[in-house]
């Protein structure tokens, strides 16, 4: 069934694309491609046809029922649109990933860019993954948990709050809320919600977000700006506005001609636009820039430290992780959480500045001196599998559990066990 484009959108795109308009329309008559990005700490290559601009992205020949796939719930992969995985190129080409970085994903839910970052950053880097809408922040936290890393904080704060962290971040990612023109093929509802008034509203919102977060980017820091829309008002015009008001150096990214990614230049602004009739993906726009303005950097003042677990509890938990010597165990009421030693002061400081939804990896509940394993620890990439009894579920059993059916497993076995499917933990322990 052909998509009925809004008249004003069609008029603009005909002017923009010229003879290529018919190709653009034809592309929207085709089904969207199915693509995933694997978690390199949990899965191995290959799984399908490789997405050329990502080391971890693949096209699938058909769309499986993802919600009934234990591997998805195990955090072995993330379902993500192929064009947006070009974000990997923007990070790789602008950032020294061997360094310990402070990174902010400002508009992060549901977690595509954040989980991608966790696969790219080293373990001594801190990722703050933020979402303004509280309900979406919880979904974000769940997806970060599935990815299995302890060097992330999930926050629920307005962009203006980050002005307190002047010069703090080495990298800021703004995947801005937008009018969604690039999603028309995937989401028919997007066409009915589109309007020129909404474009203007989105553009103003994007400017406010950029203005609010700009002071928290350090001098020579990198900002990655992206949208899933085509219009200049939300893309090039916003970037030119930012350049007129701040000290910016736009960064040219290397692309291969066969990728058919369109380089956009508008004044000093440089961006990259993805059209579905030219690339194997949906509509997308991305730009990378460097801050040249001087910016005083806030000093870390941990002040109120976390409440650390007792020596006895910490020793009990050492065998649960493969790298326990690099972790601290903190206590939040009855919940025990692991965070990297190197990031202890950073996380303690940020927890006094922002509204934190989750931090590190939840390890266990402490109930009357008994340790009750947490679901998040079962998904952690540093989990010591040899420390736990394992119950391997068949695909049928796994699907039954996902449907919330009762299962009788581990008959006669006492204590806690790790539930796996094809050797990968994907759910919390059972008693």
Mind telling me the catalytic residues?
228
Judge whether 69 and 52 are in contact, CB under 8 Å.
no
Question: What 3-state class would DSSP assign to 116?
Answer: helix
Distance, in Å, from the CA atom of 383 to the CA atom of 377, rounded to the nearest integer, reads 7
Distance, in Å, from the CA atom of 358 to the CA atom of 144, rounded to the nearest integer, reads 10
CB atoms within 10 A of CB 403: 9
Sheet containing strand 57-60, strands side by side: 49-50, 57-60, 34-38, 77-79
Residues near 405 by Cβ (< 8 Å), separated by ≥ 6?
Answer: none
Judge whether 211 and 163 are in contact, CB under 8 Å.
no
For tokens 């962009």, what's the residue? 159
Number of H helices, E strands in the chain: 13, 21
Element (H, E) at 358: strand 356-359
Distance, in Å, from the CA atom of 145 to the CA atom of 152, rounded to the nearest integer, reads 9
**Which runs of consecutive H residues, i.e. helices, occur in 148-285?**
189-193, 196-213, 236-245
Longest dimension (CA), the chain: 72
Distance, in Å, from the CA atom of 190 to the CA atom of 186, rounded to the nearest integer, reads 9
């Amino acid at each position: 069934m052909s998509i009925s484009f809004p008249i004003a959108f069609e008029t603009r795109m005909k002017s923009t694309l010229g003879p290529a308009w018919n190709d653009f329309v034809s592309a929207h008559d085709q089904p969207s491609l199915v693509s995933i990005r694997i978690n390199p700490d949990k899965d191995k290559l290959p799984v399908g046809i490789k997405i050329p601009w990502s080391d971890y992205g693949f096209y699938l020949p058909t769309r499986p029922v993802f919600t009934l796939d234990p591997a998805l719930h195990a955090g072995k992969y993330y379902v993500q649109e192929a064009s947006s995985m070009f974000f990997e190129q923007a990070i790789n080409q602008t950032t020294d990933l061997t360094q310990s970085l402070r990174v902010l994903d400002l508009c992060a839910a549901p977690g595509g860019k954040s989980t991608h970052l966790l696969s790219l950053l080293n373990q001594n880097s801190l990722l703050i993954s933020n979402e303004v809408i509280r309900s979406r922040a919880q979904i974000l936290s769940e997806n970060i948990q599935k990815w299995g890393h302890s060097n992330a904080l999930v926050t629920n704060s307005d962009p203006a709050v980050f002005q307190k962290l002047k010069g703090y971040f080495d990298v800021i990612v703004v995947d801005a809320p937008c009018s969604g023109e690039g999603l028309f093929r995937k989401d028919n509802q997007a066409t009915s919600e589109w309007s020129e008034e909404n474009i203007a509203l989105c553009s103003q919102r994007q400017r406010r977000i950029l203005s609010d977060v700009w002071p928290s980017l350090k001098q020579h820091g990198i900002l990655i700006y992206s949208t899933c829309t085509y219009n200049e008002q939300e893309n090039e015009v916003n970037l030119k506005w930012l350049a007129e008001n701040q000290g910016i150096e736009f960064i040219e990214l290397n692309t291969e001609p066969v990728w058919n990614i369109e380089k956009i230049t508008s004044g000093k602004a440089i961006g990259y636009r993805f059209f579905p009739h030219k690339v194997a993906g949906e509509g997308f726009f991305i730009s990378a820039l460097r801050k040249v303005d001087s910016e005083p950097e806030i000093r870390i003042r941990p002040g109120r430290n976390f409440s650390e677990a007792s020596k006895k509890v910490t020793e009990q938990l050492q065998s649960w992780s493969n790298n326990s010597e690099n972790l601290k165990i903190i206590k939040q009421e009855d919940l025990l959480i692991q965070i990297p030693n190197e990031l202890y002061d950073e996380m303690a400081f940020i927890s006094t500045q922002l509204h934190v939804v989750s931090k590190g990896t939840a390890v266990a509940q402490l109930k009357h001196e008994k340790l009750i394993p947490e679901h998040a620890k079962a998904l952690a990439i540093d989990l010591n599998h040899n420390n736990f009894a394992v119950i391997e579920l068949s695909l049928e059993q796994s699907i039954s559990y996902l449907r919330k059916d009762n299962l009788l497993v581990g008959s006669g076995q006492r204590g806690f066990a790790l539930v796996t499917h094809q050797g990968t933990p994907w759910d919390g322990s059972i008693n």
